[in-house]
Amino acid sequence: MPGENGLQTIARLRQHFAEVRILVLTNYGSGEEIEGAFKAGALGFLPKDAPLEVLLESIQDVSAGKQCFPRAVSGP
């Protein structure tokens, strides 16, 4: 949305549509950005270059209400 960053957009979507399930695809992926996406209401966060199999599995997981974050963030 014009004038908003991605985290603000996630928070606004969740505020107006609590049932929406958000999977973030990005070129960036610092711990702060991933944590911010989680706090804003995203259920998943993947780099855009994730393998197709990982992307498909993540879409299925997020659709089912499961969290999907990089192992470095979510633990082993």
pLDDT mean across residues, the chain: 87
Report pTM. Answer: 0.81
Is pLDDT at 76 greater than 50 in this prediction?
Answer: no
Q: Please give the domain boundaries of the chain with CATH numbers for all domains.
A: 6-74 (3.40.50.2300)
Closest listed residue to residue 46, CA positions, set 36, 58, 38: 58
Q: Which residues contact 74 (CB under 8 A, 6 or more apart)?
A: 67
pLDDT recorded at residue 31: 81
Closest listed residue to residue 29, CA positions, set 46, 14, 43, 15: 46
Cα-only R_g, the chain: 12
Task: Write the pLDDT tens digit of every residue in 23-59.
Answer: 999 887 778 888 899 999 999 999 899 899 999 999 9
pLDDT recorded at residue 70: 67
CA–CA distances in Å: residue 59 to residues 4, 25, 64: 24, 11, 9
pLDDT recorded at residue 75: 46
